[in-house]
């Protein structure tokens, strides 16, 4: 593991953590420049903001040459799309792994909750959630990024509704549970909790939410 | 009512609606320049973004002179704080009016929900919620704005928890309702719904949420 740590703005520390094995260090340029650029841009867009990050800053922080960066990504928008794709596949991979495991529906729901919230304890996303952060910073500049984010949340709603239906069928959840409405409640409250945990600096919100879900799904 | 309507960016319409009586039109400068500037900045910050709005743009759109604007507001940050204050008092006034009315607790909860969501059907906030929009656009530039937004949500959590406690006491809600956790669930889900209604372009989310609350608070 390789860690850059520097102070780019007064009072604002940026840590960029790039994962690669130590024997790759000497051939960085051929193997992982693209990844380093992506990781640097991702850290800046998510912890500082898309609008206030310039390509020059990505060049300076990644220590990859401008020519090399522009070879891989023609613009900040292209980087943004690559970051959104990477984030979505990372979450979706973890979510689908959970869905196929042999667990009760309430246990799967709790695991899903943890997948959607656990990164946020380590990374100081501007808006508490990576998708919310990218969405609100780019809503008038990248309709493609917005469409991907919309699809991610639409799918999340479907996954939760399907889990709840399965729970009702298996009699793990009350058959009176309004599954469509409860799926909306769960997905919106997780998203709201990501933002509000950050905005109110209250780490207990997520904990309270887990307990509210448990009480509601009894 | 006076309405500016112009196209400031390709494909991006801005409507600025300034309310004042028609007999004020001729003495605009002495009476309401400050309000016009505030309203113009508010519209731009909320529908386009704080970071991408310049003071020059506020001058151009408000048609108030630069000297006059800077007489009232020294910087974009001062305008931001005035906008946050105005938004908070507007919401808090409507909320406290609801709290003192003679209604059942579930009816008050629904009214609260409508207060927090109704503006959003008319105004196309970048992030679906005015506070979320301003927070995510200014999180590293204005700690004072962030503190005000934090206080607004902390208070909202307290108000909802107190309403739920009152409902349990009056036997309008189940005495098994975990009030602290349910307050967190309600406040986070409303906030998440504001963002997700915008991000997924799904106006049914809020409706589903109202039904989920009704089912949960039975």
Write down the domain spans for chain A: 2-72, 81-216
Which range, of A163-177, B15-29, B108-122, averages the lowest pLDDT? B15-29
User: Which one is predicted more confidently, B56 or A122?
Assistant: B56
Q: Which pLDDT score is estimated for A118?
A: 87
> Alpha carbon B140 to chain centroid distance?
20
HEC sequence for B96-113:
HHHHCCCCCHHHHHHHHH
In chain A, the residue whose alpha carbon lies closest to the alpha carbon of B127 is A136
Contact A196, B191 (CB under 8 A): yes
The Cα A120–Cα A118 span in angstroms is: 5
B contacts of A192 (beta carbons < 8 Å): 187-193, 195
Residue B117 CA to residue B95 CA, distance in Å, equals 12
Contact between A156 and A117 (Cβ < 8 Å): no
3-class state of residue A15 by DSSP = strand
Helix residue spans in chain A (DSSP H): 28-31, 33-47, 55-62, 66-72, 76-99, 105-117, 130-138, 143-169, 179-199, 204-216
CB contacts of A213 in chain B (<8 Å) are 185
Closest chain A C-alpha to B20 CA, distance in angstroms:
30
Q: Which of B189, B214, B218 to mutate to test the interface with A (most CBs of A within 10 A)?
A: B189
> How many contacts does A have with B, using Cβ atoms within 8 A?
163
pLDDT for res B8: 40
Please calculate the CA angle A166-A169-A172 and round it to the nearest 5 degrees: 80
Which H or E element spans position A7?
strand A2-9
Closest CA relative to residue B161, chosen from B136, B179, B147, B174: B179
- pLDDT, mean over chain B: 86
Q: Residues A215, A190, B198, CA angle at the centre, nearest 5°? A: 135
Check residue A82 and give its pLDDT: 97
Alpha helices (H) along A100-172: 105-117, 130-138, 143-169
Within 8 A of A52 by CB-CB distance, chain B residues are: 51
Axis crossing angle, helix B179-200 with helix B204-216, rounded to the nearest 10 = 170
CATH superfamily ID and name for A81-216:
Tetracycline Repressor, domain 2 (1.10.357.10)
Q: How many CA atoms lie within 13 A of B100 on its CB side?
A: 5
For residue A46, give the chain B residue with the closest CA: B136
Kindly indicate the confidence band of residue B31, based on its pLDDT and cuts at 50, 70 and 90.
Answer: low
Helix (DSSP H) and strand (DSSP E) numbers for chain B: 10, 2
Q: Look at A154 and B200 and tell me if their CB atoms are within 8 Å.
A: yes
- Supply the pLDDT for residue B156: 97
Measured CA to CA, the distance from residue B98 to residue B101 in angstroms comes to 5
Strands (E) across B56-192 are located at none
B192 contacts on A by Cβ (under 8 Å): 187-193, 195
Q: Give the class (CATH, top level) of B76-216.
A: mainly alpha
Element (H, E) at B121: none
For residue A100, give every residue at least 6 positions away whose Cβ sits within 8 Å of its Cβ, in sequence order, or none: none
Residue B10 CB coordination number (10 Å): 5
Q: What is the spatial distance between Cα A209 and Cα A190, in angstroms, rounded to a whole number? A: 8
pLDDT given for residue A121 in this prediction: 74
pLDDT under 70: residue ranges of chain A: 1-31, 139
On whether the CB atoms of residues A174 and A218 are closer than 8 A, the answer is yes
**The pLDDT of residue B18 is above 60:** no
User: Given the structure tokens 């004020």, which residue do they identify?
Assistant: B24
Retrieve residue A13's tokens. 């520390």
Nearest CA in chain A to B182: A212
pLDDT at res. A31:
59
Question: Is pLDDT at B43 greater than 50 in this prediction?
Answer: yes
Give me the residue from A48, A140, A199 closest to B149, CB to CB: A199
């Amino acid at each position: 593991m390789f860690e850059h740590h520097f102070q780019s703005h007064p009072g604002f520390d940026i840590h960029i953590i790039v994962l690669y094995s130590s024997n790759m260090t000497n051939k960085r340029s051929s193997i992982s420049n693209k990844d380093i650029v992506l990781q640097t841009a991702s850290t800046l867009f998510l912890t500082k903001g898309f609008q206030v990050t310039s390509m020059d800053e990505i060049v300076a922080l990644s220590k990859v040459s401008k020519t090399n960066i522009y070879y891989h990504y023609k613009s900040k928008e292209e980087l943004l799309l690559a970051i959104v794709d990477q984030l979505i596949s990372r979450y979706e991979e973890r979510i689908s792994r959970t869905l196929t495991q042999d667990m009760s529906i309430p246990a799967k729901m709790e695991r899903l909750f943890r997948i959607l919230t656990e990164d946020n304890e380590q990374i100081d996303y501007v808006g508490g959630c990576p998708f919310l952060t990218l969405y609100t910073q780019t809503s008038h500049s990248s309709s493609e990024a917005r469409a991907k984010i919309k699809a991610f949340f639409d799918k999340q709603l479907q996954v939760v509704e399907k889990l709840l239906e399965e729970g009702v069928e298996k009699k793990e959840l009350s058959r009176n549970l309004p599954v469509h409405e409860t799926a909306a409640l769960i997905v919106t409250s997780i998203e709201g909790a990501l933002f509000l945990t950050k905005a109110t600096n209250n780490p207990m919100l997520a904990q309270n939410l887990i307990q509210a879900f448990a009480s509601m799904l009894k």
